[in-house]
Structure 1
């Protein structure tokens, strides 16, 4: 199993904010990997396991909560958050 690239642990759910958070900055690569995997047609189980490092067989509830939360935040980063990231 591949581990997430950040040293910051993967949260069960991403706390929502209309601003960039320290978690967003720490997990930017994770967000991009999720978007790429989703675009390539990866299953939810594959994304949870390979990108988030959550084994859906052992932690099914955590995987079901974490994946959509992180995908939602990744999409927010691509539509809105990136502007804040590069604005300084």
Structure 2
């Protein structure tokens, strides 16, 4: 697998598949950044602006749902042990 991009564009919602998708593989760095920011207590609006490239002031509903779905997917990837396996393939 090629190295995942450091700052890829994101969809409005992360996948809900029960298997790792190509989107997941492309967004490993995004998922890790979201998990790190949450662990450090960074305000979600700042994370959305920097990591997901969505302005929470102009698109609050889209920003919140994108943040929640991507953070949820990042946690799923971690809980399933897939985030580390995908990251190591790089």
Superposed displacement of residue 83, structure 1: 6.7
Normalising by structure 1, report the TM-score.
0.83
Aligned partner of 2:15 in structure 1 is 15
Structure 2: gaps spanning 5 or more residues: 1-5
8 Å contact kept, 1:34–1:47:
yes
More off after superposition, 30-39 vs 50-59: 50-59
RMSD across aligned positions (CA): 1.9
Aligned partner of 2:25 in structure 1 is 25
Moved over 6 A (4+): none
Determine the C-alpha separation between the residues in 2 that align with 1:65 and 1:25.
21
Superposed displacement of residue 30, structure 1: 0.3
The structure-2 alpha-carbon separation of the partners of 1:85 and 1:13, relative to structure 1 and needing over 3 Å to count, comes to same
Determine the C-alpha separation between the residues in 1 that align with 2:62 and 2:52.
11
Normalising by structure 2, report the TM-score.
0.81
Superposed displacement of residue 44, structure 1: 1.2
The structure-2 alpha-carbon separation of the partners of 1:42 and 1:23, relative to structure 1 and needing over 3 Å to count, comes to same
Determine the C-alpha separation between the residues in 1 that align with 2:19 and 2:86.
9
8 Å contact kept, 1:19–1:84:
no
